[in-house]
Structure 1
Amino acid sequence: MTELQPLDVGFIELEDSDRHISLGIAAVAILAGAPPGRAEFTAALAERVSASDRLRQRVRRAPLDLAVPVWEDDPNFDLAHHIRWSALPAPADEPALREFVAGELVERLDRDHPMWECVVIDHLAGGRWAVIVKAHHSLVDGVSGVNLFESFCDETEVESRKGPAPDTDAAGDRNWFDWAITGLRLPVEVPRYALGLVRSLAPVAAALVSTPAGSSLNGPIGRQRRYAIARASLSEIREIGQGFDATVNDVVLAAVTSAYRAVLLGRGEEPTGNSVRILVPVSMRAADAKTFLDNRVSAVLSLLPLHLDDPVERLTTIHRRMARHKSSGATQAEKSLLALAGRLPFAPVAWGMRLWSHLPQRGVTAVATNVPGPRRTLTMLGREVLELIPAIPIAMRLRTGIAILSYGDRLTFGITGDYDSTPDLEVLADGIHSAIAELLTAVRARPQRPVG
């Protein structure tokens, strides 16, 4: 059995704190042609699931949380628990698919079994079909969630020669001797960690304490969701970034900034430089840990410059702020903080997480996570994956959440919103499209740089 890491446990505690939320994250794949038969699909999925121990394990918690929760084999594992077939109402178009995804985002995964499932939509307009792979956030983060979906796809010849990769991390296993050694080290390690953490996390703590200006983007959320999609060309995003000396992530955040500005203006609210503080997850996953199903992320917190009218000025301001955040060492400090939490007795850590998750947070207004997806074309049972769309949950008074996923030359934004408080969710999608078009026009209007 393998212990859950502190961040994995944190997502379970967060879900327990609010009956209105479900913390399943999803990848929605649009595939060409007709779907396979149920028997064929089930047999193929069974073969791929057999290569991953974690997909056949559930979470076991100790009484009173006196010990760290562990992943244990589900004695009643049945693949049928994890596959559902469904259909959309006619005309089975994208609005119907978006409504279906919104409904999936509110359904909690069954903790009596491994917390993942696969939903097959057997007909979409245009002679297509879809697969939704959903897993609890305690099981995957964005990068490992994409890898989970890829593991259900057809292998390339190179992958089949390599054989299945390991999907568990032996570092998570502990015995009494490990705990004893850890206890002896704590008096030395804690002060050393503390000094670096206080120095690096000071800006993060200040950000959380200083509440942004109140807006309709932060507040209580209900149980129902809305879901919208925006799309962009990755080559065009790169063209913008190269033209303005910015990263792909900077351009994405500039588009998101413009979209939130449009939302607030449409609601009759003044967009200021202190209106929206966004949480941007940062992957801390090493290249050789891609196949591990767990969470390995830190985060950057930044105010978005919604007060700026000029799209290029917004982009350059975001680039400057993100560069400053990266150089501050805060993301590494947060990783160290999680590592320290893993060394402490679990009961007080769990109780602290539970208390924190019940507090009404007002320091963060939105979340945007940008995940690099597959560059190669994927197939599932010989059918080409035409599009890959991300979907993330919302929680803790965040009324919107945006997941960005690349696939080939396409960048797709999956936008989740609280049903009651975001009836204008499509304004976010339209704002992203408009912002990218503006930046593309601006970069192409610039004088060409001399060669050489």
Structure 2
Amino acid sequence: MTELSPLDTGFMEMEDTDRHISLGIGAVAVVAGPPPTREEFRAGVTRGLRQHGRLRQRVRRAPLDLTAPVWEDDPNFDLAHHIRWTALPDPGDETTLRELIATELTERLDRDHPLWEVVMVDNLAGNRWAMIVKAHHSMVDGISGITLFESFCDPAREIPDTRAEEAGRQPGSGVLEWANRVARLPYTAPRFAVSAARALAPVLFSAVTPSTASSLNGSIGRQRRYAVARASLTEVREICAALDVTVNDVAVAALATAYRRLLLSRGEQPEAGMLRIVVPVSMRTADAKYALDNRVSAMIAHLPIEIEDSIERLAAVHDRIARHRSRGEAEAEKSLLSLADWLPFGMVAWIFRTVARFPQRGVGALATNVPGPRRPLWLDGREVLEIWPCIPVALRVRTTVAILSYADRLTFGITGDYDTTPDIDILAAGVAAEIDALLDHARTRRPLQLVSNPGSPPDR
């Protein structure tokens, strides 16, 4: 048995607090050729079971939440609980698949069993089929979620044994361990407090201070919509080389354009400081690549949706993200989560439940950029053509975007609340159009002035 970290536990508390949300993270493979037989498909899933012991474990909570929940082996583990087969109705096109994905994003995973499932989808047009892999956010983050997906694919090399990595946090000895931590706190807390307070101040300010009201933040229902935007990674890298920016800069700038178009289509005028976006940052080291857990922190930045010019908007994105990284906000937030280890678990759970109930009005979007497999993948001898990432919405954030690279493609998986985002396709179209526009600029070698936009909110 191993303990859940405070962040892992936080995702479970958030889901328990809001009946409208399901915190499953997904990856959808679009695969060429006829679908596999049931025996072939089960063999691939079984291969993943051998690589990740966590897939056989469920979460067990202590009475009255006196200690942290633990992962324990499911005594009734049955692979049939975790595999489903379905088929798309005609015409079986991409729209139909996206509707199925949106439905899957609403379904909660069964807490009585390990928190993952795989769905084989037949009757996809163009002689294709699909596989949906979904796991709870308490089990995986974006990178480990893709690692889980890869484990079901045909092997290219031997995958390391991850049992030692997944052992991580061993169960504590309750009150005695907590007392020992508290006794050391006077010696360790001052060193943490001084370095973290300066970096965390702007993050906490952005999280609790309401931004300019917009339709991007507000109550959400139980149903979802899902859209996809695609870009050539080769062309994105051409933009990066010509304009001296990163792939992440280009992706976030494309999102800024997409949200600007969405607001304008709704009759809302984009303003400086109107859209704060959460950008998760991976804290995962190379030797922990194959561990199924959460190792993320986050930054909160303003998207420059008020800027009309594409090049100026990209420059503002580059400048702002660099500024947030230089302040060490993600590292400070990670340290803050580590500090939660010193508190009694009941208090940690109460804090997360309180945050989940708090009607936050400061953040309007979330975007995460996950580096995916560079080599082509195969499932049961069939080529994986595309991988679409899927993440949930929660905490009054009505749209979220997962950006995933795979081979020579960059894919934006956009999740939206069904009732308040009927125009979700505007976001997908805006992303594609902006990357095309930036590519045109890159090929004309227009210089990029990396300075902050004068109208941007002041650094706090």
Structure 2 length as normaliser, TM-score? 0.94
Deviations 1:130-158 (A, max 9, x none): 000000000000000000000111111xx
> What is the CA deviation profile of residues 281-316 of structure 1, one whole-angstrom value per residue up to 9, with x for unaligned ones?
000000000111111001111111111110000000
> Distance in 2 between the 1:298 and 1:448 partners?
33
Q: Once structures 1 and 2 are overlaid, which stretch shifts more, 250-259 or 169-178? A: 169-178
Q: Is the 8 A contact 1:390 1:403 kept in 2?
A: yes
State the match for 1:347 in structure 2.
Answer: 346
Q: Say if 1:166 and 1:291, in contact at 8 Å, map to a contact too.
A: no
Q: Quick check: 1:229–1:413 contact (8 Å CA) kept in 2?
A: yes
Task: Report Cα offsets for 1:25-60 as digits up to 9, x if no partner.
Answer: 100001111111112211332233133210000001
**Residue identity in the other structure for 1:348:** M
- Which runs of structure 2 are paired with 1:160-171 in the superposition (5 Å)? 160=158, 164-166=161-163, 168-171=165-168
Please tell me whether the aligned partners of residues 67 and 346 of structure 2 are also in contact (alpha carbons under 8 angstroms): yes
Bigger shift: 175-184 or 390-399? 175-184
SS of aligned partner of 1:48: helix
Q: State the number of aligned residues.
A: 446
Q: Which residue is 2:220 aligned to?
A: 221
The answer to whether the 8 A contact 1:6-1:341 is kept is yes
Instruction: Give me the identity figure in percent.
Output: 60
Corresponding position: 1:267 with 2:300: no
Q: Distance in 2 between matches of 1:374 and 1:220?
A: 36
Match of 2:334 in 1: 335
Instruction: Give how far 1:446 is off.
Output: 2.0
Partner of 1:173: 170
SS at match of 1:119: strand
Give the stretch that moved more between structures: 190-199 or 303-312: 190-199
* 1:401 alignment counterpart: 400
For residues 309-337 of structure 1, the C-alpha deviation after alignment (integer angstroms, 9 at most, x for no partner) is: 10000000110001100000111100101
Distance 1:21 1:87, change over 3 A: same
AA partner of residue 172 (structure 1) = R
1:63 Cα offset (Å): 1.5
Say whether residues 1:142 and 2:139 are aligned partners. Answer: no
8 Å CA contact retained: 1:53, 1:168: no
The Cα offsets for residues 199-240 of structure 1, whole Å up to 9 and x where unpaired, read as 210111222233211000100001111111000011111111
CA–CA distance in structure 1, aligned partners of residues 386 and 168 of structure 2: 36
Q: Does 1:25 align with 2:22?
A: no
| Other structure's SS at 1:231 match | strand
State the 1:380 CA deviation: 1.2
User: TM-score, length-normalised on structure 1?
Assistant: 0.96
Q: Which residue of 1 aligns with 2:121?
A: 121
Deviations for 1:389-438, whole angstroms, at most 9, x for unmatched residues?
10110001011001000000100000011111011100000100111111
Unaligned runs of 5+ in 2: 449-460
Is the Cα–Cα contact under 8 Å of residues 210 and 360 in structure 2 kept in the other structure?
no
* Per-residue Cα deviation, 1:55-77 (whole angstroms, up to 9, x for no partner): 00000111221100000111110
Q: Could you tell me how far apart the structure 2 residues matched to 1:329 and 1:121 are?
A: 43
Q: Given the superposition, is the C-alpha separation of residues 424 and 78 from structure 1 closer, same or farther in structure 2, using an over 3 Å criterion?
A: same
Considering only aligned residues, what root-mean-square deviation do their CA atoms show, in Å? 1.5
Q: 1:64 to 1:165 in 2, by over 3 A?
A: closer
Match of 1:434 in 2: 433
Rounded to whole Å, the distance in 2 between the matches of 1:226 and 1:6 is 30
Summarize the Cα distance change of 1:193–1:270 in structure 2 as closer, same or farther, 3 Å threshold: same
8 Å Cα contact 1:54/1:168 also seen in 2: no
Q: Which amino acid aligns with 1:68?
A: A
Output the CA distance in 2 between the equivalents of 1:246 and 1:25: 29
Q: Determine the structure 2 residue equivalent to 1:185.
A: 184
Q: Who is 2:8 aligned against? A: 8
Contact persistence 1:253–1:318 (CA under 8 A): yes
The answer as to whether partners of 2:228 and 2:412 remain within 8 angstroms in 1 is yes
Deviation at 1:179, TM superposition (A): 4.8
SS at structure 2 position matched to 1:340: helix
- How far apart in 2 are the matches of 1:228 and 1:150? 23
Letter in 2 for 1:435: E
- What is the CA–CA distance in structure 2 between the aligned matches of 1:207 and 1:127, rounded to whole Å? 48
Distance 1:52 1:357 in 2: 30
Partner of 1:67: 67
TM-superposed CA distance for 1:190, in Å, is 2.0
Equivalent position amino acid for 1:41 in 2: F
CA distance in structure 2 between the partners assigned to 1:193 and 1:419 by the alignment: 42
> Relative to structure 2, which stretch is displaced further, 63-72 or 172-181?
172-181
CA distance in 1 between partners of 2:207 and 2:279 (Å)? 14
Report the Cα offset of residue 167 of structure 1.
6.3
For residues 234-383 of structure 1, the aligned pairs below 5 Å read 234-383=233-382
Deviation at 1:171, TM superposition (A): 3.4
8 A contact 1:54–1:167 mirrored in 2 = no
1:29-40, aligned counterparts within 5 Å?
A: 29-40=29-40
**Which region of structure 1 is more displaced relative to structure 2, 120-129 or 164-173?**
164-173
Counterpart contact for 1:53–1:167, Cα < 8 Å: no
Q: Is the 8 A contact 2:369 2:402 kept in 1?
A: yes
Q: CA deviation at 1:178?
A: 5.4
Moved over 6 A (4+): none
Partner of 2:68, secondary structure, is coil
Higher mean Cα deviation, 403-412 or 39-48?
A: 39-48
2:188 corresponds to 1:208: no
Quote the Cα distance in structure 1 between the aligned partners of 2:410 and 2:313. 20
